Structure formats: C-alpha cells, structure tokens
Amino acid sequence: MKTYQNILFILVGLLLFACKPEPQQISYGQTNCGHCNMTVSDSRYGAELVNSKGKAFFFDSAECLAAYLNDNPKQEQEAAFVLVTDFTKPNTLVDAKQAAFLQSEQLPSPMGMFLTAFADAQTATQFQQKHTGRLLSWKEAMLAVQKNEKPL
C-alpha cells in the first residue's frame, strides 16, 4: 500500500511540475500574432503572453500585445508572464512591466505605433537621445495604444 502512495505522490508531483507555466521561444516566421493574426517575423519586436495554465500567445509587437490586453483585461490579471523583446537583444524576452518603451517615429515598429521595448530605462534613454521620441512605462504604453497615440 505504501508503494502505491509513493508512486501516486511522484505522479502528482510530476504533473504539477509539467503544468508550471513557462515562457516559450517564439518561432519567428512560423507563428501568427494573437491579436492581428499576421506572421510574427521581426525578432526585435516579438511579444508573448503566457497564461496561468501555461498556454502561450505570441504577438508581432508590443503594441499588439497591449491592444490584446486592452481588449481582454482579465488575461493580464491571470497571466503568468507578459513579455516583450528587448530591441537591443533580438529573441530575448523581458518582463513588460519592468521594460522601458520608446515611441519614436525614427524607429518604426511592425504595427505602426513606433513602439520599441528595452530591458532597462538607461538603454531606452540612450536611444531617445539618438532617435528622439518619448519614453513610456508599460502602463503608459498600453494607454498610448488604447488611445492610438502616435509619435508627436
């Protein structure tokens, strides 16, 4: 009887571990955006949402991720991960809430909002000095997408 309990305990542990939500690698050129359905193709702008059940949704840009979350606020509340790509490190996802965003007409993004994500504010500020534009937090970026605000 104790052997069955041990086996059951191990199986339950394996199932729990297997269901742990984790970010997934974006398959550029092979997956479609969860918001606009276009092919996710630019590895400098990809974004990802992983829900609490571990299902990943991919986006071709931070603005598509923001638009999706603006339309589905419950998804953000229940998300395990909300990630954007660091522009300076293609294929590298960072926490959207910790990222800094530059909205500059000199840096066109896939969906025309000119929104570029950086892992930190210092790098975003350096790009702002070179390309002009305005710096935004994730919440400000989501609001800009909601209001369809383009660079000034």
Task: Specify the pTM.
Answer: 0.86
Per-residue pLDDT reduced to its tens digit, 103-131: 999 999 999 999 999 999 999 999 999 99
List Cβ neighbours of 30 (8 Å cut-off, separation of 6 or more).
Answer: 39
At residue 48, the 3 state secondary structure works out as strand
Q: How far apart are CA 140 and CA 152, in angstroms?
A: 15
Q: What percent of the chain has pLDDT over 70?
A: 87
